[in-house]
């Protein structure tokens, strides 16, 4: 199992670290355009192998895609990160060109690769990859919902004053501050609806805090977060590599599901060796259906800015 991560910045390097520590891949290749950065981070990570008890081989390369040949899974984190006050949508002009070039180079050397898109605005970048690469739809997955759901569960555990492992919940919709749809109605604490413990006002606060989770961290850190995004990507990589059949909300190309067409947006999906193996349609109430349609309108507006 060979995994390539394009972009050796904070998110890419964190993802490589988590993949290596989980020890399910034989090789991880880090690729970056900045001379020496991928090689340096790969070497630094390899020097943790005996300390963290993994045998995954991590190598780095400066823009040499031949080193990525034969990759089973490739993660695209390339592009400029958010700065304080920026929306994910503002990154589209620069990042679209980068993602298009990166995906083309990856497929040239690994025609059967499964691509996981992380670059922002993520839903639109995932749509771009669908429209420009010719890969089957199950081989292109956008990572946003797994991260948003992890942030949602953190906020729920905080409000419930309980261990995070007690909590289950999911965020669907667009990966944006206004597009996320945290499903508070379906969230549970050990199978008990969280509404049994928290007031409607507190749940609304949890939902709002979740939606601005990325912006909150960007304001604190001065740049985008990396630990949770890296961990979220590594969970998707592992689900595919190990054929786990796990369900994560992912940005998938919809063809009628949830009443939406020709759009990539976050919906529950089963991940396994064939990539995105099944989109799961859950029954939404009227308020949730309205929110996901509004979210889709926002994604479509951003998609319209693409030069396809």
pLDDT digit string (tens) for the chain, length 308 residues? 999 999 999 999 999 999 999 999 999 999 999 999 999 999 999 999 999 999 999 999 999 999 999 999 999 999 877 677 777 677 788 899 999 999 999 999 999 999 999 999 999 999 999 999 999 999 999 999 999 999 999 999 999 999 999 999 999 999 999 999 999 999 999 999 999 999 999 999 999 999 999 999 999 999 889 999 999 999 999 999 999 999 999 999 999 999 999 999 999 999 999 999 999 999 999 999 999 999 999 999 999 999 87
88 is in an annotated binding site: yes
Ranges for all domains in the chain classified under CATH 3.40.50.720: 2-143
Q: List, as own/partner pairs, every contact residues 290-295 make where C-beta atoms lie below 8 angstroms and the sequence separation is at least 24, other chains included.
A: 291/173, 291/181, 292/172, 292/173, 292/181, 292/258, 292/260, 292/265, 293/259, 293/260, 294/179, 295/173, 295/174, 295/176, 295/178, 295/179, 295/180, 295/181, 295/265
Q: Per-residue pLDDT tens for 33-85?
A: 999 999 999 999 999 999 999 999 999 999 999 999 999 999 999 987 767 77
Does the annotation flag 120 for ligand binding?
yes
Topology annotation, domain 145-304: L-2-Hydroxyisocaproate Dehydrogenase; Chain A, domain 2 (3.90.110)
Annotation-wise, does 241 bind a ligand? no
Among all residues, which ones are annotated catalytic?
Answer: 175
Q: Say if residue 185 carries a ligand binding annotation.
A: no
- Of residues 227, 225, 270, the one with CA closest to residue 252: 270
**Neighbour count for residue 204 (Cβ, 10 Å):** 13
Q: Residue-wise over 110-125: b if at least 16 C-beta within 10 A, else e?
A: beebbbbbbbbbbbbb
Does the annotation list 95 as a binding residue?
yes
Annotated binding residue 177: no
Q: Give the Å distances, CA to CA, from 273 to 5, 26, 183, 191, 270.
A: 18, 16, 28, 29, 10
Does 269 carry a binding-site annotation? no
Distance of alpha carbon 58 from alpha carbon 4, whole angstroms = 10
Between CA 41 and CA 303 the distance in angstroms is 34
pLDDT of residue 149: 98
- Helix axes 10-22 and 227-241, enclosed angle (nearest 10): 40
DSSP character for 65? G
Is 280 known to sit in a ligand binding site?
A: no
Which token pair is 246? Answer: 């796990």
Number of residues that make up the chain:
308
- Quote the CA–CA distance of 123 and 265 in Å, as a whole number: 6
| Ranges in the chain annotated CATH 3.90.110.10 | 145-304
Query: Nearest to residue 231, comparing CAs of 149, 167, 306?
Result: 149
- How many other CB atoms are there within 10 angstroms of residue 36's CB atom? 12
Please say whether the structural domain 2-143 has been given the CATH code 3.40.50.720.
Answer: yes
pTM equals 0.96
Contact 145, 249 (CB under 8 A): yes
Q: For 228-256, what is each residue's pLDDT tens digit?
A: 999 999 999 999 999 999 999 999 999 99
Other C-beta atoms within 10 Å of 280: how many?
A: 11
How crowded is the C-beta side of 278, counted as CA atoms within 13 Å? Answer: 10
Of 299, 225, 227, nearest to 264 (Cα)?
299
């Amino acid at each position: 199992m060979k995994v390539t991560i394009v972009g050796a910045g904070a998110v890419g390097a964190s993802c490589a670290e988590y993949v290596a520590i989980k020890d399910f891949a034989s090789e991880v290749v880090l690729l970056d355009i900045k001379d020496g950065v991928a090689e340096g981070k790969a070497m630094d990570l390899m020097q943790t192998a005996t300390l963290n008890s993994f045998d995954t081989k991590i190598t780095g390369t400066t823009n040499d895609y031949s080193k990525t040949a034969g990759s089973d899974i490739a993660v695209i984190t390339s592009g400029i990160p958010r700065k304080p006050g920026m929306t994910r949508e503002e990154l589209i002009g620069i990042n679209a060109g980068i993602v298009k070039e990166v995906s083309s180079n990856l497929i040239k050397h690994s025609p059967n690769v499964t691509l996981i898109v992380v670059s922002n605005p993520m839903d639109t970048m995932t749509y771009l990859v669908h429209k420009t690469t010719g890969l089957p739809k199950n081989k292109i997955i956008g990572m946003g919902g797994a991260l948003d759901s992890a942030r949602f569960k953190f906020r729920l555990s905080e409000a419930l004053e309980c261990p995070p492992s007690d909590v289950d919940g999911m965020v669907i919709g667009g990966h944006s501050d206004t597009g996320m749809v945290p499903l508070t109605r379906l969230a549970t604490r050990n199978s008990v609806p969280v509404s049994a413990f928290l007031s409607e006002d507190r749940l609304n606060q949890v939902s709002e805090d979740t939606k601005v989770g990325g912006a909150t961290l960007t304001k604190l850190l001065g740049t985008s977060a990396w630990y949770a995004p890296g961990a979220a990507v590594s969970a998707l990589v592992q689900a595919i590599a190990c054929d786990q059949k796990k369900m994560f909300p992912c940005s998938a190309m919809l063809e009628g599901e949830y009443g939406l067409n020709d759009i990539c947006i976050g919906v529950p999906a089963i991940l396994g060796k064939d990539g995105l193996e099944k989109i799961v349609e859950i029954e939404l109430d009227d308020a949730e259906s309205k929110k996901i349609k509004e979210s889709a309108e926002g994604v479509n507006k951003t998609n319209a800015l693409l030069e396809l």
